[in-house]
Structure 1
């Protein structure tokens, strides 16, 4: 390898070389149905600007390997932060505890040369001082936006990861993954009342887009408008009512309420509300839900997943009919289907599992304004904060960070403290309108499952749901 090969962060003289890694994979996984050595190097930086000055500036690097062997339904996994022949040989001892293989080893993933994002390293793109200067500039512009601005917080972060997957059958795949993110939060004060708003954007690209003045000014403006709406907010109403979800980021509700229930492991074990329902109607006509990890530069995208499978567009629900699940290699093999490119892991220290990439509802034909006109007494939810779901039942709870009353088809007062409570499969059956304004989120999503967090994307058009329970304190 030459000095320009990013794999120099994985292979070091005297510790491990590519040929030795392949021999170790062949030796360690000889008695397994499937598995791999997963090598990773990552560098991460973050800046926190608060109270008009730089509060935090962090930089860290990490590297290591994960060795996984799969026999039948059993998985053996070991990892270490030392990438060396000796460490991998020690880790291989874990695999001796597995049952003998079925003598039907899984075929390797199909190779691909596709690259969905740059190999460039955003951390090395600009000097430290320029990144701090951008935070200062955003902070100053946010504070100058309005005399009511009492606080502005800026978060800027980037990571760069080199991964290599080495299998016993000779398959080797490498991926180089950049990721950047900008967050702006603003606090407004008026008549003794303080409220906040926030906005973020990011993706698998370099810092260039975030340093574009039109982009960070847009972030300021969106955060300001949300804070201003919250300043005028009244207590949220409570009860069962019609809900109009806005386009883009509100797809996070779809991600939690439906997406997790369509992951292969839950369905193989029969613990999802969608288990055993392939070919059945699980949503209203017109509802098509897709997971697509192959969209260029998106936060949730991967050229290959963390098992080496090329990502793809997976139609999960088509016109309301359940068509398939998101699969990693193990669950796909045990269910007798093909992997879908959804085997993901947080890092080398974690085993892969079926995870979402960019999950969204396809757009429909309805005019968003016409959908609003159909709401006689309900709410319009434009942005969400945290939420949670029970996979078995599909029940979810979500908090709104920006929402409005709707009366006779007209937007009314902003509301504060609204939560949406429902059942994912039932909610999908209550979709009565799908807008023609489908949008993906701005690139800030983080998905948690099984103690692991990975970047993910969401999206949807405006969606009209005939009935959800709204939790609030108002009348």
Structure 2
């Protein structure tokens, strides 16, 4: 069912009207320095096809509000999965615990009519049976590709969210957000050895291109190629060595090792390895890192953030020099800078915090083939799995899902069990080559912080990094 006015999913007769929402925001937030009433409706679905049959088919609808008041550094927050005037009044009692604001009320965000994605719902555009048939087709096609394929897992997921942000100063902003994702995972077996390969693609759009044979066939081929490559892999070496990082998804290392450390809350509190270092060199010449939530249709993009601020391109590191941090409204105000459109929350049940959107390193001028030729002994990391970072020290650990030895400037045998170990403050200073082949990821990233998960994007060109520690199995 398609709704002509998405706001009808938030405002219902006898429960809450737009006028009542504005009046309640004024009443409940009148003594606060900043804050908002965040209203949300979200519908989501997921299909999982495994072992030759449909294993899961889930659909859910949820709606609620979050009411946040800010006074100085203190935040009061209440939420409920009921959108009604009565529930919002009850939530307002929590805000009464705040001390009255001693400063003037913060100015509202800049208004924007920009739309980075369609308002249409991906869930409604394709009927149930077609979604199941797509996964059946992928399963059959993947098994027919190669006799070594012994297991296929395919999943399709989509969501459609309507949010409205109502402030006590009369500011109201609405955003309608689609999100889709297709994943294919294969297990291959040869001579008793099993290996896996995966591929995913998605973004803030409809399902249309995911149903195109060219798209899902590429997903199968990429996952199969990775799995078959890993069948031939040998134990990874260990020690400090030169690492060539592939373009695109390997930017997740940048996201973890550097990105989180550049978020405003950690730096305001002085707990980041980058705290107090604006204007200092934190990367090699040529290293420029940006966060940009305003790229059309990207998974990490938002027309406005969850506080109503339009997203933008924010230069974090320019030519190796630290220029700024990722900011929400609260931390920007306390640090005396402008918000950057990075106030994000998982849902109405969570208060916003500074979070990355699409974070990537800009391209350089080096030919990727020439960068490979420079490496006499090292590894090429083409794809990563999980990783983690300690914000205070900046130390990170990442596991490679597809990697190769490099010997005398040529790719050698694929390796398994390789992990990259380093620290954010120094890894960018070790960059000795930046490719001209910037690529963003395919649209599958999920970022976790403070118990909240949000979709995010990463990217980078091919990078040559000297002196990274490789934890191997050899």
Q: TM-score, normalised by structure 1?
A: 0.99
Q: Aligned pair 1:174/2:147, yes or no?
A: no
Structure 1 residue aligned with 2:320: 320
* Equivalent runs, 1:387-402 vs 2, <5 Å: 387-402=387-402
Match of 2:273 in 1: 273
SS at match of 2:220: helix
Task: Tell me whether 1:226 sits opposite 2:226 in the alignment.
Answer: yes
Q: How far apart in 2 are the matches of 1:186 and 1:103?
A: 58
What are structure 2's unaligned runs of at least 5 residues?
A: none
Q: Give secondary structure in 2 for the equivalent of 1:97.
A: coil
Deviations 1:112-145 (A, max 9, x none): 0000000010000011000000001111111111
Query: What is the CA deviation profile of residues 11-57 of structure 1, one whole-angstrom value per residue up to 9, with x for unaligned ones?
Result: 11111000000000000000000000000000010000011111110
What aligned pairs does 1:55-134 form with structure 2 within 5 A after superposition?
Answer: 55-134=55-134
In the TM superposition, what whole-angstrom CA distance separates every residue of 1:450-471 from its partner, at most 9, and x where no partner exists? 0000000000000000111100
1:395-452 alpha-carbon deviations (Å, 9 max, x no partner): 0000000000111111111111111000111111100000000000000000000000
Structure 1 outlier segments of 4+, above 6 Å = none
3-state DSSP of counterpart to 1:250:
helix
Q: Using the alignment, how far apart are the partners of 1:467 and 1:375 within structure 2? A: 12
Within the alignment, does 1:186 sit opposite 2:186 as a pair?
Answer: yes
Deviation at 1:281, TM superposition (A): 0.5
* CA drift at 1:231: 0.2
Whole-Å separation in 1 of the counterparts to 2:103 and 2:450:
30
Partners of 2:377 and 2:151 in 1: CA distance: 35
Alignment of 1:43-62 (within 5 A): 43-62=43-62
In the aligned structure 2, how far is the partner of 1:167 from the partner of 1:457?
A: 29
1:247 is aligned to 2:247: yes
Question: 1:357: which partner in 2?
Answer: 357
Structure 2 residue matching 1:69: 3-state secondary structure: strand
Q: Secondary structure at the match of 2:281?
A: coil
Per-residue CA distance 1:262-300 (angstroms, 9 max, x = gap): 000000001111111111101000000000000000000
How many aligned residue pairs are there?
Answer: 473
Alignment of 1:130-209 (within 5 A): 130-209=130-209
Deviation at 1:3, TM superposition (A): 5.7
Please say if 1:307 is aligned against 2:307.
yes
For 1:335-357, what per-residue CA distance to the aligned partner results, in whole angstroms no more than 9, with x for missing partners?
Answer: 00000000000000000000000
Partner of residue 256, structure 1: 256
Partner of 2:249, secondary structure, is: coil
The alpha carbon displacement at 1:103 in A equals: 3.5
Q: How does 1:32-43 map to 2 (within 5 A)?
A: 32-43=32-43
CA separation in 2, counterparts of 1:106 and 1:150? 59
The 5 A counterparts of 1:448-459 are 448-459=448-459
| Structure 2: distance between partners of 1:329 and 1:360 | 23
Task: Give the Cα–Cα distance (whole angstroms) in 2 for the partners of residues 127 and 198 of structure 1.
Answer: 26
Residue 99 (structure 1) shift: 1.5
CA distance in 2: counterparts of 1:4 and 1:200, whole angstroms: 31
SS in 2 for 1:226: helix
Distance 1:377 1:109, change over 3 A: same
Which residue of structure 2 lines up, in the alignment, with residue 407 of structure 1? Answer: 407
Partner of 1:289: 289
Measured in 2, the distance between the counterparts of 1:21 and 1:111 equals: 19
**TM-score between both structures, scaled by the size of structure 2:** 0.99
Distance 2:215 2:176 in 1: 25
Cα distance in 1, alignment partners of residues 60 and 174 from structure 2: 22
Secondary structure in 1 matching 2:96: helix
Shift of 1:192: 1.1
CA distance in 2, matches of 1:421, 1:35: 40
Write out per-residue CA displacement over residues 151-177 of structure 1, whole angstroms, 9 at most, x where no aligned residue: 111010000000000000000000000
Q: Distance in 1 between matches of 2:283 and 2:385?
A: 25
Q: Distance in 2 between matches of 1:331 and 1:425?
A: 22
Pair 1:401–1:3, CA change in 2 (3 A): closer
Unaligned runs of 5+ in 1: none
| Matched residue, 1:422 | 422
Residue 473 of structure 1 and its aligned partner are, at CA, apart by 1.4
Q: Distance in 1 between matches of 2:51 and 2:145?
A: 16
